[in-house]
Amino acid sequence: MLLACSLWIGLVASLLAVDRPPEVTSEKGMVVSVSPEASDAGLDILKQGGSAVDAAVAVALALAVTFPEAGNIGGGGFMMVWPANAKGSDQPAQPVCIEYRETCPAALKRDSFVNERRQEGHHTIGIPGTVAGLALAHEKCGKLKWAQVVAPAILLAHEGFHIDAALASALNRMAGSPTANFSEFRRVFTKPGGGEWQSGDRLIQRELAQTMKTLADDGPDSFYRGRIAEQIVAEMQAGGGFITREDLAGYRAHVRKPVSTSYRGYDIYAPPPPSAGGTQLMECLNILEQFDVNGLGPKSPQFVHVLVESMRRASCDRVRHMGDPDFTPIPVKLLSKDYAKQLSEQLDLSRATRSESLAPDITLTDEPPSTTHFSIVDGHCMAVANTYTLQNSYGSRVVVGGAGFLLNNEMTDFNWRPGVTTTRGQVGTEPNVMAPGKRMLSSQCPTLVSREGKLLLVTGSPGGRTIPSTVLGVVVNVIDFSLSAREAVDAPRWHHQWLPDRIQFERHPAPDYAELLRQLQQQGHLFSDDVKRLGDGYQRQGDAHTILIRHGVLHGAADWRRTVGKAAGW
Out of 105, 128, 462, 473, point to the residue binding ligand DON (CB under 6 A).
Answer: 462
Q: Which residues 362-381 are close enough to bind ligand DON by CB under 6 A? A: 367, 369-371
Nearest to 490 by CA among 22, 6, 2, 4: 22
Q: Which of 371, 429, 470, 546 is catalytic?
A: 371
Q: Which residues 439-458 are close enough to bind ligand DON by CB under 6 A? A: 442-444
Nearest to 284 by CA among 256, 261, 258: 261
Q: How far is the CB of 73 from ligand DON (least distance, A)?
A: 16
130 in contact with ligand DON (CB under 6 A): no
504 in contact with ligand DON (CB under 6 A): no
Closer Cβ to ligand DON, 195 or 368, answer by number = 368
Q: How far is the CB of 394 from ligand DON (least distance, A)?
A: 12
* Range 224-239 burial, b when 16+ CB lie within 10 A, else e: bbbebbebbbebbeeb
Q: How far is the CB of 157 from ligand DON (least distance, A)?
A: 23
User: How many residues line the site for ligand DON (CB under 6 A)?
Assistant: 14
Q: Which amino acid is at 541?
A: Q
- The whole-angstrom separation of Cα 489 and Cα 56 is 21
66 is catalytic: no
Q: How far is the CB of 387 from ligand DON (least distance, A)?
A: 8
Closer Cβ to ligand DON, 214 or 409, answer by number = 409
* Range 335-370 burial, b when 16+ CB lie within 10 A, else e: beeebbeebbeebeeeebbebeebbeebbbbebebb
Out of 273, 464, 473, 565, point to the residue binding ligand DON (CB under 6 A).
Answer: 464
315 in contact with ligand DON (CB under 6 A): no
391 in contact with ligand DON (CB under 6 A): yes
Out of 389, 447, 470, 504, point to the residue binding ligand DON (CB under 6 A).
Answer: 389
413 in contact with ligand DON (CB under 6 A): yes
Q: How far is the CB of 446 from ligand DON (least distance, A)?
A: 11
Closer Cβ to ligand DON, 133 or 462, answer by number = 462
- List all residues 6 or more positions away from 330 whose beta carbon is below 8 Å from its beta carbon: 273, 279, 321, 322, 323, 431
* Secondary structure of residue 59 in the 3-state scheme: helix
* Cα–Cα distances in angstroms (integers) from residue 512 to residues 7, 8, 10, 15, 509, in the given order: 11, 11, 11, 10, 9
* Secondary structure of residue 40 in the 3-state scheme: helix
66 in contact with ligand DON (CB under 6 A): no
Closer Cβ to ligand DON, 145 or 173, answer by number = 173
Using an 8 Å Cβ cutoff, are 43 and 568 in contact? Answer: yes
* Cα–Cα distances in angstroms (integers) from residue 60 to residues 116, 151, 350, 454, in the given order: 32, 12, 45, 26
Q: Which residues are catalytic?
A: 371
- Binding interface with ligand DON (CB under 6 A): 367, 369-371, 389, 391, 413, 442-444, 462-464, 467
